[in-house]
């Protein structure tokens, strides 16, 4: 590796690509380009602004905000001075923010806007190590007089003054950077307990970028849309490390709500999203097709099976016959490309999913459309990726083969272990956890899995989440949940059954789609709660679960379920920040429901506390119907 | 500081009914004045007199040292008085963007012919207005609904768009008739923040009618209380809250 650090790569790119577009942000309805030279200029000015505040080697800057160029400038500026960037999810609760800022010893916090400034000023006394809060959206900030505050613009202006006095400072500190320096601390959202800070060096990140791009090259001019939290290692991987390594263009959406429209405008060459996003797209397409006129519906129904057949051929490594290929060509012309265009996937060279398991049905669906969707498997602790599919060697039940320089091994009790140049340095200020994660020099993933005959890795589930029924049958709740979530009407599913005679589920309906379905079928409803308990809605969901049960072994089919009266929410700690269900917490919180589901009850009364983001609490009281599923009779 | 708006002993009759009777009120530039009072107290009538929808039977209205009592509504709009309505008055089948662009029409100088051809000056003018409208879209955080037809939006969002339409006029005095009616708590909080930001960042003077006392107490600098067409109290929110006449008007006689 020649360049050594991320800021050095930026300097190289500014020299190599100069006036080419490095970043683009949509503002005031127009895509505003930033060239590589301008990119470096912002990073230099902001870095020197930080330097003028006394920020130096080894110091930490915490960053909270939506994806904007300023987020990335802040990270690279800190690193240019030999410092460390710590991303924080923008929807974190004050308690979590306090913990991370204080735990990582941040001297500077960069935030997006007034909302976050308010949050931080509220917890000011609990984050005494913070010396400055720098915000980049000045809206509503006019009358703030707190001495802690500084605007991004002022910081850059101070940086310019600093540069007049110390013209060589920036280049010198960038030069002094070493690959072994800490680049970021990524706090893992963690399904249990307080988040842990994974320390990753520049070498870790750059080795990851190099190895990933060796498998799947990207080049200058390739477009990427950055819309997932930059605090997530997956987003860091693509929009910082891989982007700097390859010179591709990173686009920042206007607002989180406009992502879908922006995706269509940009037509990216590469995309990396957790399963949730792909699942959303499938539901949207299904609903759109259901609502289309009869002609469109007939045509798409005729061609989608053709897509599936071609996809299945590819999964099996066979070449589809000439007739099938011709049909597929036609299907692409009239159906598939239209759907892809609608979703903004038409220019994709490849797309990745990672962070959690993606249902095989969703996977097949995208391949049927001709989207080259691949799994990425990895942990924050290995810079985000250790395993991925190779083009033309994709099996939807596996996550692919290790990337170069990376080794995968399965421990005796079935845990996936990995080794390679991207394995992290350890958890920040947590030696015990570090020792546990890095036993015998291998990174312990906590995932259960195995390698198949082709050397592909198959991930079963979290080691601790693989469950046994009372009769000893092993099952993976996540697998069942993904099956159920393939339905456009089911948003979230929680499967339970540890040490129980059979599997039960709690369901969240997809409000948008079920609401529309209810309207079409003239079912009047008032609130979300009301809609969830409508007999016809329950009938609809039973049908969906029966489908999901279809190809699952009899013993582990979902036998009963309730439709929850509220959406599972990260603010109520029922989901992690990356929207994984926290099964343990949920089964504790809704213990009444679980007991009811394993009893003879037909209806379970329930009270729930709901926390609003401003800290208020209200209690919801209602009663939920227990619904048995017909193709999975409970044995007496 | 000279008041920006003087409502000078305004009286308004509808046949035998007296809607307003000798109301006097001064409003300083940049202030947020809340007008409160029981139903039928004359709050909307007062706003209608200021915006020119009603002609007062007696008294005068002076805006920035200029008497406007007898000017028609569109002239007052040109002078810098904007308003929103209690019931949403937007073009439901047009998009958010189109509604806001319409709000700019008093600033447009190109005629039908040149506008129709969309050449040179007309095009440049359109771009200037679009930029201004985009700033308002950014300010009100409605980027994601820019191209949606107003009629398809949730009520709270329509209210926000209506505020945007009024802001597109770039008023120096903005009249808001129940901007938060029918909103849930979260929507109200958002709207309150936008109103404060309008006053703070653009220095716009605001007169608003509002029933939610919590909101009134939180955001207004001055409160005027009407009852049966008469002003019975005025002052800061704290002063008004303690005023026995106000308590009586709201709770009735003991």
Instruction: Give pLDDT, residue A223.
Output: 96
Q: Which residues pair with A225 in a beta bridge?
A: A251
Q: Burial, A92: exposed, middle or buried (Cβ in 10 Å; 0-12, 13-18, 19+)?
A: buried
- The ranges of chain A annotated as CATH 3.40.50.12780 are 6-15+35-211+227-239, 273-421+429-462
pLDDT digits (tens, 9 = 90+) for A209-259: 999 999 999 999 999 999 999 999 999 999 999 999 999 999 999 988 899
Same domain, B65 and B177: yes
In a domain, residue B86? The reply is: no
Contacts of A68 in chain B (CB under 8 A): none
Chain A contacts of B137, Cβ < 8 Å?
A: 28-29
Q: Where are the beta strands (DSSP E) in A163-229?
A: 182-187, 197-201, 223-225
Neighbours of A302 (CB within 10 A): 14
pLDDT the model gives residue A635: 47
State which residue of chain B sits closest to A138, comparing Cα positions.
Answer: B201
For position B253, what pLDDT does the model report? 52
Q: What does the H/E/C string look like for chain B? A: CCCCEEEEEEEEEECCEEEEEEEEEEECCCCEEEEECCCCCCHHHHHHHHHCCCCCCEEEEEECCEECCCCCHHHHHHHCEEEECCCCCCCCCCEHHHHHHHHCHHHCCCCHHHHHHCCHHHHHHHHHHHHHHHHHHHHHCCHHHCCCEHHHCCHHHHHHHHHHHHHHCCCCEEEEECCCCCCCHHHHHHHHHHHHHHHHHHCCEEEEECCCHHHHHHHCCEEEEEECCEEEEEECHHHHHHCHHHHHHHHCCC
pLDDT for residue B114: 57
Same-domain pairing of B120 and B234: no
Strand-strand pairing, B32-36 and B58-63: unpaired
Q: Which residues contact A243 (CB under 8 A, 6 or more apart)?
A: A224, A249, A250
Confidence of residue A549 (pLDDT cuts 50, 70, 90): confident
Q: Counting beta carbons within 10 angstroms of the beta carbon of residue A294, is it exposed (0 to 12), middle (13 to 18) or buried (19 or more)?
A: exposed
Contact yes or no for A140 and B201 at CB 8 A:
yes
A536-562 mean pLDDT? 88
Looking at residues A429-440, what average pLDDT do you find? 92
What's the rounded Cα separation, in Å, for the pair A538 and A531? 9
- pLDDT at residue B116, as a whole number: 58
Rounded mean pLDDT of A267-292? 89
CB of A399 closer than 8 Å to CB of A456 = yes
* Cα dihedral A52, A57, A63, A69 sign: positive
Both B129 and B239 in one domain: the answer is: no
> What is the nearest CA distance from B134 to chain A, expressed in angstroms?
5
Q: What integer is the mean pLDDT of A47-72?
A: 96
Q: Read off the tokens for A517.
A: 């379905």
Q: How confident is the model at residue A636 (pLDDT cuts 50, 70, 90)?
A: very low
Closest chain A C-alpha to B143 CA, distance in angstroms:
7
Nearest residue in chain B measured CA to CA from A28: B134
* Domain contains B32: yes
Q: Which top CATH class is A6-15+35-211+227-239?
A: alpha beta
Assess whether pLDDT exceeds 80 at residue A608. Answer: no
A29 and B146 in contact by Cβ < 8 A?
yes
Q: What are the backbone dihedrals phi and psi of residue B234, each rounded to the nearest 5 degrees, phi first?
A: -155, 155
Say what the pLDDT of residue A1 is. 44
Q: Which superfamily does CATH assign the domain made up of A273-421+429-462 to?
A: ANL, N-terminal domain (3.40.50.12780)
Q: Does the beta-carbon distance from B143 to A143 stay under 8 Å? A: no
**CATH for B70:** 3.40.50.300
Among the candidates B135, B157, B179, a domain finishes at: B157
Classify domain A467-632 by CATH number. Answer: 3.30.300.30
- Identify the helix (H) or strand (E) that includes residue A610: strand A603-611
In the prediction, which pLDDT does A558 show?
93
A142, A257, A261: residue with CB nearest B200? A142
Which pLDDT does position A634 carry in this prediction?
Answer: 52
Reduce the DSSP state of residue A430 to 3 states and report it: coil
Name which of A25, A138, A140 to mutate to probe chain B: the one with the most chain B Cβ atoms within 10 A of its Cβ: A140
Q: C-alpha A150: how far from its chain's center? A: 31
- Cβ atoms of A135 and A106 closer than 8 Å: no
* pLDDT band per the 50, 70, 90 thresholds, residue A162: very high
Across residues A358-368, what is the average pLDDT?
A: 87
B146 and B193 in a common domain: no
* A vs B: CB pairs below 8 A: 33
Provide the shortest C-alpha distance from residue B45 to chain A (in Å): 32
How close, in Å, is residue B54 to chain A by CA atoms? 35
Where, residue-wise, is CATH 3.30.300.30 in chain A?
Answer: 467-632
Nearest Cβ partner for B143 among A139, A143, A255? A255
Which among B134, B200, B201 has the least Cβ separation from residue A29?
Answer: B134
Start-end of H helices in A379-463: 431-437
In a domain, B235, yes or no: yes
Q: Is the ipTM of this complex over 0.85?
A: no
| Residue A617 contacts B where some CB pair is shorter than 8 Å | no
What pLDDT was estimated at residue A101? 96
The Cα of A29 is separated from the nearest Cα of chain B by a number of Å equal to 7
Q: Which domain holds residue B20?
A: 5-80+171-251
Q: Scan residues 123-182 of A and list those with Cβ closer than 8 Å to B.
A: 139-140, 142-143
Are B138 and A257 within 8 A, CB to CB? no
Q: What is the pLDDT of residue A551?
A: 66
pLDDT above 90 (res A77) = yes
Q: How many angstroms away from the CA of B197 is the closest CA of chain A?
A: 6
Residue B181 and residue B150 share a domain: no
Whole-angstrom distance, CA of residue A314 vs CA of residue A368: 10
Q: Do A28 and B193 make contact, defined as CB atoms within 8 angstroms?
A: no
- Parallel, antiparallel, or unpaired: how do β-strands A182-187 and A415-419 relate? unpaired
Spatial neighbors of A571 by CB under 8 A, at least 6 apart, are A91, A93, A611, A612, A613
Residue where the block lists tokens 């990335």:
A72
Give the distance from residue A258's alpha carbon to the nearest chain B alpha carbon, in angstroms.
5
Nearest CA in chain B to A27: B138
**SS3 breakdown of chain A: % helix, strand, coil, rounded to 5?**
45, 25, 35
Task: Say how many domains are in chain B.
Answer: 2
Which chain A residues have a beta carbon less than 8 Å from that of B146?
A: 29
Please state, in angstroms and rounded to a whole number, the distance separating the CA atoms of residues A466 and A252: 38
Q: Select the more confidently predicted residue: A111 or A572.
A: A111
**Cβ proximity of B200 and B11 under 8 Å:** no
- For an interface test with A, give the residue of B144, B164, B197 to mutate (most A CBs within 10 A): B144
- Closest residue in A to B136 (Cα) is A28
Q: How far apart are the first and last CA of chain A?
A: 65
What is the least distance, in Å, from the CA of A28 to any CA of chain B?
Answer: 5
Among the partner residues B146, B193, B201, nearest to A142 by beta-carbon distance: B201
The tokens describing A45, both together, are: 């000015």
Query: Which residues 11-40 of A have a C-beta within 8 angstroms of B?
Result: 27-30
Is residue B163 domain-resident?
Answer: no
Q: What is the pLDDT of residues A302-314, one digit of tens each?
A: 898 999 999 888 8
Minimal C-alpha gap between B55 and chain A (Å): 37
Confidence of residue A208 (pLDDT cuts 50, 70, 90): very high
Tokens of A324: 């099938």
Out of B131, B141, B144, whose CB is closest to A28? B131
Give tens-digit pLDDT for A447-488: 888 788 788 998 877 787 788 788 877 788 887 898 898 888
At A190 the pLDDT is 60
Name the stretches of chain B with pLDDT < 50: 254
pLDDT for A191 equals 55
Mean pLDDT of A160-168: 95
Interface with chain A: mutation pick from B143, B185, B187, B195, highest number of A CBs within 10 Å: B143
- Taking Cα atoms as reference points, which of A213, A223, A184 lies closest to residue A1? A213
Q: Cβ contact (<8 Å) for B139 and A139?
A: yes
Q: B214 lies in a domain?
A: yes
Average pLDDT score over chain A: 90
User: H or E segment at A305?
Assistant: helix A294-315
Q: What is the pLDDT of residue B254?
A: 44
Per mean pLDDT, which of A186-195, A283-292, A409-418, B232-241 is the most reliable? B232-241
Cβ–Cβ below 8 Å for A139 and B200: no
């Amino acid at each position: 590796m020649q360049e050594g650090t991320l800021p050095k790569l930026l300097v190289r790119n500014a020299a190599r690509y100069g006036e080419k577009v490095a970043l683009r942000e949509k503002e005031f309805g127009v895509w505003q380009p930033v060239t590589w030279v301008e990119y470096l200029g912002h990073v230099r000015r902001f870095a020197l602004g930080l330097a003028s505040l006394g920020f130096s080697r080894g110091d930490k800057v915490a960053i909270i905000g939506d994806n904007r160029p300023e987020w990335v400038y802040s990270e690279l500026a800190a690193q240019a001075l030999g410092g460390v960037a710590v991303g924080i999810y923008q929807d974190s609760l004050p308690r979590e923010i306090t913990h991370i800022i204080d735990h990582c010893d941040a001297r500077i916090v960069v935030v997006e806007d007034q909302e976050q400034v308010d949050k931080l000023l509220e917890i000011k006394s609990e984050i005494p190590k913070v010396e400055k809060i720098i915000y980049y959206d000045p809206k509503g900030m006019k009358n703030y007089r707190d001495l802690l505050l500084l605007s991004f613009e002022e910081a850059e202006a101070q940086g310019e003054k600093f540069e007049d006095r110390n013209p060589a400072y920036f280049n010198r500190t960038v030069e002094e950077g070493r690959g072994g320096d800490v680049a970021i601390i990524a706090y893992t959202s963690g399904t249990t307990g307080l988040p842990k800070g994974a320390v990753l060096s520049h070498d870790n990140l750059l080795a990851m970028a190099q190895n990933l791009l060796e498998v799947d090259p990207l080049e200058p001019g390739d477009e990427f849309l950055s819309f997932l939290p930059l605090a997530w290692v997956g987003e860091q991987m693509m929009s910082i490390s891989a982007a700097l390594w390859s010179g591709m263009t990173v686009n920042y959406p206007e607002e989180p709500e406009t992502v879908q429209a922006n995706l269509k405008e940009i037509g990216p060459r590469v995309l990396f999203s957790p399963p949730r996003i792909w699942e959303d797209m499938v539901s949207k397409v299904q609903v759109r097709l259901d609502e289309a006129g009869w002609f469109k519906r007939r045509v798409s129904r005729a061609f989608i099976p053709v897509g599936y057949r071609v996809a299945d051929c590819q999964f099996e490594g066979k070449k589809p016959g000439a007739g099938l290929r011709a049909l597929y060509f036609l299907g692409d012309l009239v159906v598939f490309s239209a759907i892809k265009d609608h979703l903004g996937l038409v220019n994709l060279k490849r797309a990745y999913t990672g962070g959690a398991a993606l249902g095989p049905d969703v996977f097949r669906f995208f391949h049927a459309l001709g989207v080259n969707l691949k799994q990425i498997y990895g942990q924050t602790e290995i810079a985000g990726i250790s395993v991925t599919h190779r083009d033309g060697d994709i099996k939807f039940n596996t996550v692919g083969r290790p990337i170069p320089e990376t080794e995968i091994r399965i421990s005796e009790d079935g845990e996936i272990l990995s080794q390679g140049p991207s394995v992290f340095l350890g958890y920040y200020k947590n030696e015990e956890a570090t020792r546990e994660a890095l036993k015998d020099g291998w990174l312990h993933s906590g995932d259960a899995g195995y390698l198949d005959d082709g050397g592909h890795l198959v991930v079963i589930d979290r080691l601790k989440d693989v469950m046994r029924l009372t009769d000893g049958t092993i099952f993976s709740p996540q697998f069942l949940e993904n099956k159920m979530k393939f339905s456009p009407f089911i948003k979230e599913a929680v499967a339970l059954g540890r040490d129980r005679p059979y599997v039960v589920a709690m369901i969240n309906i997809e409000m948008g789609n079920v609401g529309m379905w209810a309207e079409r079928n003239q079912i009047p409803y008032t609130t979300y709660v009301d809609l969830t308990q409508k007999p016809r809605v329950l009938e609809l969901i039973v049908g969906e679960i029966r489908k999901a049960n279809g190809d699952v072994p009899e013993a582990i089919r979902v036998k009963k379920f309730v439709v929850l009266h509220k959406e599972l929410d990260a603010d109520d700690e029922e989901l992690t920040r990356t929207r994984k269900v926290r099964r343990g917490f949920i089964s504790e919180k809704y213990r009444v429901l679980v007991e009811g589901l394993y009893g003879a009850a037909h209806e379970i009364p329930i009270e729930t506390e709901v926390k609003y983001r401003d800290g208020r609490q209200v209690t919801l009281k209602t009663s939920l119907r227990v619904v048995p599923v017909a193709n999975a009779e409970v044995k007496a | 500081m000279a008041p920006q708006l003087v409502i000078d002993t305004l009286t308004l009759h509808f046949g035998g009914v007296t809607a307003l009777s000798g109301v006097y009120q001064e409003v300083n530039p940049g202030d947020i004045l809340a007008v409160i009072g029981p139903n039928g107290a004359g709050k909307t009538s007062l706003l209608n007199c200021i915006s020119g929808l009603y002609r007062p039977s007696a008294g005068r209205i002076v805006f920035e040292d200029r008497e406007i009592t007898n000017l028609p509504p569109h002239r007052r709009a040109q002078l810098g008085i904007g308003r929103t309505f209690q019931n949403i008055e937007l073009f439901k089948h047009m998009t958010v963007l189109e509604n806001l662009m319409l709000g700019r029409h008093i600033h447009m100088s190109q005629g039908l012919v040149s506008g129709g051809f969309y050449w040179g000056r007309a095009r440049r003018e359109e771009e200037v207005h679009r930029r201004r409208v985009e700033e308002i879209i950014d300010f009100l955080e409605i980027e994601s609904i820019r191209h949606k037809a107003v009629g398809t939006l949730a009520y709270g969002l329509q209210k926000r768009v209506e505020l945007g339409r009024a802001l597109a006029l770039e008023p120096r005095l903005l009249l808001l008739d129940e901007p938060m009616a029918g909103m849930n708590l979260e929507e109200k909080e958002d709207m309150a923040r936008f109103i404060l930001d309008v006053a703070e960042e653009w220095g716009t003077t605001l007169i608003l009618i509002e029933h939610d006392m919590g909101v009134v107490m939180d955001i207004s600098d001055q409160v005027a209380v009407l009852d049966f067409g008469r002003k019975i109290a005025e002052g800061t929110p704290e002063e008004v809250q303690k005023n026995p006449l106000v308590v009586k008007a709201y709770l009735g006689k003991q």
